[in-house]
Structure 1
Amino acid sequence: MKCNEFEPVWNRREMLRSSACGLGQIAFASMLSESASGFSGTQATSGMPHFAPRAKRIIFLFMWGGPSHVDLFDPKPELNARAGEQLSGSSVGVNRDKLGELLGSPFKFQQHGEGGVWISELFPELSQHADRLCVLRSIHTEGSAHGEALLRLHTGQANLVRPSVGAWVSYGLGSESANLPAFITISPPRGHGGVQNYGSAFLPAAHQGTAIGSAETPVSQAVVSNLRNPRLNTEQQRRQVDLIQSLNQSHLRQSVTDPTIEGLIANYELAFRMQSTMPQVMGLDDETPETHAMYGIGEEPTDNFGRQCLLARKFAENGVRYIQVSTDYTWDHHQKVQEGLVGECAKVDRPISGLLADLDQRGLLEDTLVVWGAEFGRTPMAENKDGRNHHPQVFTMWMAGGGVRGGMTYGSTDDFGYAPVENPVHMHDLHATLLHLLGLDHEQLTYTHAGRNFRLTDVYGNVVHDIMS
């Protein structure tokens, strides 16, 4: 028998009568999928925040490779004045004689908005939203290699396999939509940790991020794997899923509790429902020409990232809790940093501005936290004469909407942008703060695995209350 002539051995009535699970058990499978966030194996969350949230969802704009903070958001007149000189370690608290030759920034900075936020000339569109931005200049982490730094950014740790930030958010809050996952990653990196950057690790499988394409694939060509079945129609697929779920439920009854089976049941049901909802949300033809223009869609060099940002807005308004948008691996400027930044900023400036404006005009920015950043920054010293090396010691990220104070700059660095000197914010602090804005206590959001309680922030992390509105 050919696959496209699929006909189950049982008809629906015989299957329900013979499987010993009946209508009640099939209904239970649907109930499981609707409350998937509540299953954790050894303990359950209610799908409710620990306290009143300031934000309902997060959109994370990930600039893969590490943008240079001293060229974009952290101007350093002293760096420019002493360009070409050797930076001594003693001047920045490092026990080394020479760190390298200082490289000044070729870009002009200007203060914008009532808050006087300093922004490089490379972001003219974003500068119009200065009073919405909370710029964190003192982020620091560990890991001078991309792989380690990406894992710390996305999972909090680089040792062992840990759940990603989006998976923790899904586990803690669940999804607002019955037909879409709680966590979606658009054009995710396939390197430097790959699927671990959006995986669920030991959390139930229902909390893993749903990937759309990959970073090196234009999003206009990206698809969700296995979203469509060309061989079976909807009715046949429903009958097939019912049969499979009856077997899954039988295994679950025998094991009493098994997060793997529970996650599998939830994912089967969600995958079936996604077939009707996801294509509609991913289509951009229902958006007006004015909206397309706002994001720079249909124009170069903004088309690809503009499409990603517009998809993020559509997923946000359709109940997805955590949405990540990633660029390709194009911010790693070990040489020609000036040329590289001009090109990369031109790709994202207008789309990001369009996203902030669009969220605001739709009343979504108030409870949507937009986060911009990367795995680390770049050195104030030159590499290959006109480039900059990796720099986890300090770098800049910014937030907007979702309960943070706009028009604000938090933390500061030394005269060269080498290290934080005021209000340092470690990656664990950043993660604790993100969860807090969603109404989740990072110390209470735990999962028991291998005999101990795990959390996103491990045994660290302090919420940065000063940046909250």
Structure 2
Amino acid sequence: MHRIPGYEHISRGDFLSKLGLGIGAAGLMHLLGEPEVQGSPADRSTKPGLPGLPHFAPTAKRVICLFQSGGPSHLDLFDDKPVLRERFNEDLPDSIRKGQRITGMVASQARLACQPSKWNFSPCGQSGTKLSELLTHTGTIADDICLIRSVHTEAINHDPAITFFQTGSQLPGRPSMGAWTDYGLGCANENLPSFVVLISVNKERPGQGLLARLWGSGFLPSEHQGVQFRGSGDPVLYLSDPKGISRENRRWMLDGIQELNQQSFARIGDPEIETRIAQAELAYRMQSSVPDLMDLNNEPEHVLNSYGEDVHVPGSFARNCLLARRLAVRGVRFIQLYHRDWDHHGGIHDRLPPMVKDTDQASAALVKDLKQAGLLDETLVIWGGEFGRTPYAQGSARLDAYGRDHHGKAFSIWMAGGGIKPGMCYGETDDFGFNVVNQPVHIHDLQATILHCLGIDHTRLTYRFQGRQFRLTDVHGQVVKAILK
């Protein structure tokens, strides 16, 4: 067998790896002409972000997304429809539905009976924004938020709808919003991840589970994926030193592992090895920064009280909202909260109030806390779920036992801070809350607007994968300029 000089001791696997790197390098020469993807993952780990970003002056330095998993009912919280009260238990008119698809859960029902909300609505704040009587605390920040009543999505079931909201695609495998943000803008605190995830559940009903790919990096380098902080035990798995291992021994072991990884990188050249090196160093630094982050002993009593009694319960939504503010102060760029169990196909009368109790006070307290700390103007806060609920009842139309099915044609979210106009409502649905009739906001429009607030042109933040340029908004999305200051 003929041996190539200089390669006598290289295995077949190493040869193929180096051959692949040569082909990859040729492709990289082409990519270097596109500024959105310049720089290897190793280079980016030591830089604040991609060259040329932000594209323009940002109005927000960070994002806090309060995601309500399951689909909160806009008709019971944000979008009052008196016509539903007038036409209670009448069939939803064909002129409103227009043959649009419904889920299999109600397709077999004999009727789609109009179902009004059990709760009254009233104007709040100087803006006069009408909100449900359930949202007593959100009503106190009505003049700080922009309520968008015309959001619509393409998905009709939870998993594709949540995936669409978070990644811009109904199919798994794309990078999440937080990963795109980290990829483009980098990290502002070397001792904490740039993208942190916190999850809470209703105490009585945990709701549907969430998959880690929702905060994953997809085809982006894995260094950009979100880091989940847990509600009990170690906030991050394996962060504490094992029993019997001192801090000095941990450092010694880490140095040895890093040396082996460096040798492996020099031999193979896989950029994911450098990601592993950087993440191991971050984990070591987090051993000091995370305990300080999680320690609430120095928080003033009046601040703790403002978030509600659940702030003392690790893993609660209230606790996570306070931690979100503490993460924001420390420079974390994308903070993603999830709260589960808004999927109310039945028993809204009993199940909606506990969910509002979990989230209403803490959400309002977070906005007020950020404002008091002088951080709201530079922090974009988003509250909403993957879709809304139907104006017709699932099951029997009764004010004490009704449920609502999934509805993506029209629903509501609110935004605050970070360059968003406060004290305004945007968009309108029809008299039944079924269709958007004015100023529609597609999920891609929402994503484009979020990136815009961060100083990113959504059409220019791209990544080449499998022969094409990908972006969060795919080939769609328009910035909703009317809600920007």
TM-score band, normalised by the shorter chain? 0.7 to 0.9
Unaligned runs of 5+ in 2: 1-40, 102-106, 202-206, 397-401
Residue aligning to 1:242: 255
Residue aligning to 1:13: none
User: Do structure 1's residue 143 and structure 2's residue 155 form an aligned pair?
Assistant: yes
User: Do structure 1's residue 83 and structure 2's residue 88 form an aligned pair?
Assistant: yes
Residue aligning to 1:438: 454
Residue aligning to 1:29: none
Evaluate the alpha carbon distance shift between residue 415 and residue 222 of structure 1 in structure 2; reply closer, same or farther with a 3 A threshold: farther
Letter in 1 for 2:329: E
User: Do structure 1's residue 129 and structure 2's residue 159 form an aligned pair?
Assistant: no
Letter in 2 for 1:387: G
Please identify, of 316-325 and 231-240, the stretch whose mean Cα deviation from structure 2 is larger: 231-240
User: Do structure 1's residue 224 and structure 2's residue 243 form an aligned pair?
Assistant: no
Letter in 1 for 2:45: A
Q: Aligned partners of 2:198, 2:241: CA distance in 1, in Å?
A: 22
- The counterpart of 2:349, out of the listed 326, 338, 343, is 338
Residue aligning to 1:371: 382
Q: Aligned partners of 1:404, 1:52: CA distance in 2, in Å?
A: 15
Q: Aligned partners of 1:440, 1:99: CA distance in 2, in Å?
A: 47
- The counterpart of 2:59, out of the listed 51, 54, 58, is 54
Q: Aligned partners of 2:46, 2:117: CA distance in 1, in Å?
A: 47
User: Do structure 1's residue 393 and structure 2's residue 404 form an aligned pair?
Assistant: no
Contact persistence 1:301–1:347 (CA under 8 A)? no
Evaluate the alpha carbon distance shift between residue 338 and residue 363 of structure 1 in structure 2; reply closer, same or farther with a 3 A threshold: same
Residue aligning to 1:347: 358
Unaligned runs of 5+ in 1: 1-31, 214-218
- The counterpart of 2:112, out of the listed 81, 97, 100, is 100
User: Do structure 1's residue 421 and structure 2's residue 421 form an aligned pair?
Assistant: no
Q: Aligned partners of 1:47, 1:60: CA distance in 2, in Å?
A: 26
SS state at 1:63 partner: strand
Please identify, of 431-440 and 235-244, the stretch whose mean Cα deviation from structure 2 is larger: 235-244
Q: Aligned partners of 1:100, 1:407: CA distance in 2, in Å?
A: 35
User: Do structure 1's residue 276 and structure 2's residue 288 form an aligned pair?
Assistant: yes
Contact persistence 1:185–1:209 (CA under 8 A)? yes
Paired residue total: 427
User: Do structure 1's residue 194 and structure 2's residue 211 form an aligned pair?
Assistant: yes
Once the two structures are superposed, the pairs formed by residues 296-311 of structure 1 within 5 Å of their partners are 296-297=308-309, 304-311=316-323
Q: Deviations over 1:303-327 (max 9, x none)?
A: 9221111000000100100111121
Q: Aligned partners of 2:315, 2:333: CA distance in 1, in Å?
A: 25
Evaluate the alpha carbon distance shift between residue 468 and residue 299 of structure 1 in structure 2; reply closer, same or farther with a 3 A threshold: closer
Residue aligning to 2:22: none
Once the two structures are superposed, the pairs formed by residues 245-324 of structure 1 within 5 Å of their partners are 245-256=258-269, 258-297=270-309, 304-324=316-336
Q: Aligned partners of 1:383, 1:318: CA distance in 2, in Å?
A: 45
Residue aligning to 1:67: 72
Q: CA deviation at 1:430?
A: 0.6
Contact persistence 2:163–2:172 (CA under 8 A)? no
Evaluate the alpha carbon distance shift between residue 273 and residue 154 of structure 1 in structure 2; reply closer, same or farther with a 3 A threshold: same
Please identify, of 54-63 and 187-196, the stretch whose mean Cα deviation from structure 2 is larger: 187-196
User: Do structure 1's residue 179 and structure 2's residue 191 form an aligned pair?
Assistant: yes
Letter in 2 for 1:309: C
Evaluate the alpha carbon distance shift between residue 182 and residue 249 of structure 1 in structure 2; reply closer, same or farther with a 3 A threshold: same
Contact persistence 1:412–1:420 (CA under 8 A)? yes
- TM-score (normalised: structure 2): 0.83
Residue aligning to 2:370: 359
Residue aligning to 1:36: 45
Contact persistence 1:38–1:171 (CA under 8 A)? no
Letter in 2 for 1:236: N
Evaluate the alpha carbon distance shift between residue 355 and residue 413 of structure 1 in structure 2; reply closer, same or farther with a 3 A threshold: same
Q: Aligned partners of 1:335, 1:93: CA distance in 2, in Å?
A: 25
User: Do structure 1's residue 447 and structure 2's residue 463 form an aligned pair?
Assistant: yes
Evaluate the alpha carbon distance shift between residue 122 and residue 95 of structure 1 in structure 2; reply closer, same or farther with a 3 A threshold: closer
Q: Aligned partners of 2:287, 2:351: CA distance in 1, in Å?
A: 40
Q: Aligned partners of 2:61, 2:361: CA distance in 1, in Å?
A: 25
Q: Aligned partners of 2:51, 2:125: CA distance in 1, in Å?
A: 41
SS state at 1:308 partner: helix
Contact persistence 2:50–2:186 (CA under 8 A)? no
Once the two structures are superposed, the pairs formed by residues 6-25 of structure 1 within 5 Å of their partners are none
Residue aligning to 2:426: 410
- The counterpart of 1:210, out of the listed 227, 236, 249, is 227
- TM-score (normalised: structure 1): 0.86
Q: Aligned partners of 1:37, 1:443: CA distance in 2, in Å?
A: 25
Evaluate the alpha carbon distance shift between residue 436 and residue 155 of structure 1 in structure 2; reply closer, same or farther with a 3 A threshold: same
Contact persistence 1:302–1:346 (CA under 8 A)? no
Q: Aligned partners of 2:239, 2:358: CA distance in 1, in Å?
A: 29
Residue aligning to 2:16: none
Evaluate the alpha carbon distance shift between residue 130 and residue 36 of structure 1 in structure 2; reply closer, same or farther with a 3 A threshold: same
Q: CA deviation at 1:449?
A: 1.3
Q: Aligned partners of 1:254, 1:428: CA distance in 2, in Å?
A: 42
Q: CA deviation at 1:248?
A: 2.2
Q: Deviations over 1:165-195 (max 9, x none)?
A: 1111111111110100000000179966601
Contact persistence 2:304–2:311 (CA under 8 A)? no
Q: Aligned partners of 1:341, 1:222: CA distance in 2, in Å?
A: 32
Q: Deviations over 1:18-70 (max 9, x none)?
A: xxxxxxxxxxxxxx88952759xxxx813841110000001111111111001
RMSD: 2.4
Q: Aligned partners of 1:316, 1:262: CA distance in 2, in Å?
A: 27
Contact persistence 1:88–1:99 (CA under 8 A)? no
Evaluate the alpha carbon distance shift between residue 71 and residue 409 of structure 1 in structure 2; reply closer, same or farther with a 3 A threshold: same
Q: CA deviation at 1:446?
A: 0.8
Evaluate the alpha carbon distance shift between residue 402 and residue 285 of structure 1 in structure 2; reply closer, same or farther with a 3 A threshold: same
Q: Aligned partners of 1:400, 1:46: CA distance in 2, in Å?
A: 29
